[in-house]
Structure 1
Amino acid sequence: MSHIKRFFKRNGLWVLFATALLSIALAVGAHLSANATILENIAGVVLSPINNAHASLTAWVADKSQYYADNTALLEENAALKLEIANMEEAIRQAELDSAENARFRKLLSLREQRQDLTIESANITARSTTNWTETFTLNRGTDHGIQEGNMVITEEGYLVGVIDTAGSNWSTVLTLVDTDTSLGAQVFRTSDLGLVQGDFSLMAEQRLRLDYLPQDTSLLAGDLIVTSGLGNYYPSGIVIGTVESVQTDDSGAASYAIIAPEADLNHLVQVFVIKEFDIVD
């Protein structure tokens, strides 16, 4: 024990110093270990929002990519549907045109079967002209097709449209039946009374004409059918002009006349038929 005491007495300060150094070393080691954990935590704190932002950005990009893909597919499908609808509408329009054309052909066939005394030429209306005094159509047929001035023009139903006024080689003009220069021999279908249909300035705007020179004892009624008389063999007989709209008395009070509504729809005609020849009925 005396040796130990002498050792500590002689070296006690160094032992204390060594112990202190050991304690300090252990503390520093523990401190350094703790600092490593703090650095990791700091790194985690710093990187966590970056990782979250990256994950969110990745999810957003994926969502937008899917939206773009879905939207692109929807636009392509929509464009395909629009094209299909347009094709269907075009098919419907073509079917309507075909149906209308077939209806005209049937009417024309019926007209030709009923009026085998007529030689007719089909023509399309290419222009219209209306003034205060005249109403005319231009056709795409003329003398090259056997059409002449004075030929009567009708619809596929056989309704009177007018008369050829001028004929060129591949065109002609039609003076419509409501024109002020129109004058045709007419007959009341029901009673066989004869008269004269004429264009009238005051009636032309209303697409109407007059039936004059009726017999004094005429029994003409509203709704009576008026046809061409064929007198003089200048025009064929039995062509439908129109129907009586009203019967009136002239200013003298001595004679009656009628207002006639044409059967032909002059405002919407596209195709007409020119009577080039007809058989004269005795």
Structure 2
Amino acid sequence: MLKLFKLLSNKRLFILLFTLVLFIVVMGFSLGTRKALSWPENFLRDTTGFVQNVFYKPAGYVAGLFEDIGNLHDLAKENESLKITVAQYTRDKATYNFIQADNERLQKLLKFTQAQKEKYDYEYHIAQVVSLTTEPSNSSLVIDLGSKDGVKTNMSVISVEGLVGVISEVSNFTSTVKLMTMMDSNDPNSQPAIAATAIGKENSTFGMIQSYNQETKRLQMDKIPPGDPIAVGDTIVSSGIGGLYPRGLTIGTVDSVAVGEFGLTSTAIIKPKAEFEDWKQLIVVYTEERTE
């Protein structure tokens, strides 16, 4: 029995020593400089690579799928954001264009009224056009200024280009403007005649504008005295005589001059400065005597 125990002990010792020697040999192979791997190492590496490849590719596909879904979601959100940005830009650009157009128009009106104020002491109020009627028998428009704003009948209404008409009716918040296109010397209800003169000839030119030709779209200036120096190309303005129309309001330019009936007076055909269409804003002229 004792011999058997010693034999087993020696066998265990032998196995331990053999294992230790094998370990040292393997370590020697591993740590030594080699140009190629041993066949066990090759086998282990190939086996590990194959197993990793089997599991890694499907996992990569799944991960890539989720990543693509995430990217699509991000692209969708980015696309929505871009659409909103484009819409905002379009709106802002349109708003900017409106503001720029309004600013240019208002600057033009401001320069005009300031220049006029330096020459004549009038008060100007800008009015928005509410509606426009262009019927031959009733050419008029409505503005958003009324009696609450101090507007009264027969006040002159102008555009930047020239005289447009006069206030014919006034309510609390709006007023009706009778256009110069309604002027008719044979109609007592038409716009009152305008005492006029020519710029640069204020002391020598005089006439009365009292009719408008619907076909030629021209005003007619009558009662021009003999020897009057009025000529083609002259700029015609209101003279202020009679007190109804303020002095110096631009009316138009002379197209032609002809001797009138019986040869006692002359008649001038005037092309209006105002276009009588597509108005958005006009100016009501407040004279000192009308605002009291």
Give the partner amino acid of 1:236: P
Match of 2:227 among 207, 217, 225: 217
CA gap of 1:131–1:80, structure 2 versus 1, over 3 A, is closer
Give the partner amino acid of 2:220: R
CA gap of 1:133–1:253, structure 2 versus 1, over 3 A, is farther
- 1:66 to partner: Cα distance: 7.7
* Structure number with bigger Rg: 1
Equivalences for residues 57-136 of structure 1 within 5 A: 65=69, 68-69=72-73, 72=76, 75-76=79-80, 78-89=82-93, 90-116=95-121, 118-136=122-140
Query: Once the two structures are superposed, what CA deviation does each residue of 1:92-123 show, in whole Å capped at 9, x if it has no partner?
Result: 4323323433333333333333322x234432
Q: Which residue of 2 aligns with 1:3?
A: none
Query: Once the two structures are superposed, what CA deviation does each residue of 1:188-233 show, in whole Å capped at 9, x if it has no partner?
Result: 22333111112324347x3x31111222333432221101122222
Identity of aligned residues (%): 22
Query: Once the two structures are superposed, what CA deviation does each residue of 1:62-81 show, in whole Å capped at 9, x if it has no partner?
Result: 79848845752563353144
- 1:124 to partner: Cα distance: 2.1
Computed over aligned residues only, the root mean square deviation of the Cα atoms, in angstroms, reads: 3.5
**Aligned-partner Cα distance in 1 for 2:248–2:289:** 12
Gaps of 5+ in 1: 1-53
Conserved 8 A contact 2:231-2:257: no
* Aligned partner of residue 97 in structure 1, secondary structure: helix
CA gap of 1:188–1:97, structure 2 versus 1, over 3 A, is closer
**Aligned-partner Cα distance in 2 for 1:106–1:135:** 29
**Aligned-partner Cα distance in 1 for 2:140–2:232:** 28
**Aligned-partner Cα distance in 2 for 1:265–1:256:** 26
Q: Which residue of 1 aligns with 2:155?
A: 151
CA gap of 1:250–1:58, structure 2 versus 1, over 3 A, is farther
1:237 correspondence with 2:240 = no
Match of 2:269 among 230, 245, 259: 259
Q: Which residue of 2 aligns with 1:141?
A: 145
* Aligned partner of residue 181 in structure 2, secondary structure: coil
Conserved 8 A contact 1:229-1:237: yes
- 1:136 to partner: Cα distance: 0.9
Query: Once the two structures are superposed, what CA deviation does each residue of 1:46-92 show, in whole Å capped at 9, x if it has no partner?
Result: xxxxxxxx99x979967984884575256335314413422441334
CA gap of 1:203–1:259, structure 2 versus 1, over 3 A, is farther
Give the partner amino acid of 1:242: G
* TM-score where L is the length of structure 1: 0.64
CA gap of 1:188–1:149, structure 2 versus 1, over 3 A, is same
Conserved 8 A contact 2:180-2:212: no
- 1:259 to partner: Cα distance: 2.1
* TM-score where L is the length of structure 2: 0.62
Match of 2:166 among 163, 166, 171: 163
Conserved 8 A contact 1:196-1:211: yes
CA gap of 1:96–1:122, structure 2 versus 1, over 3 A, is closer
Conserved 8 A contact 1:125-1:138: yes
Q: Which residue of 1 aligns with 2:258?
A: 249
Aligned length: 223
Gaps of 5+ in 2: 1-57, 184-189
1:197 correspondence with 2:209 = yes
Conserved 8 A contact 2:237-2:248: yes
- 1:171 to partner: Cα distance: 2.0
Give the partner amino acid of 1:215: P
CA gap of 1:103–1:121, structure 2 versus 1, over 3 A, is closer
1:271 correspondence with 2:281 = yes
Query: Once the two structures are superposed, what CA deviation does each residue of 1:212-266 show, in whole Å capped at 9, x if it has no partner?
Result: 122233343222110112222233222211111x215378583542221222333
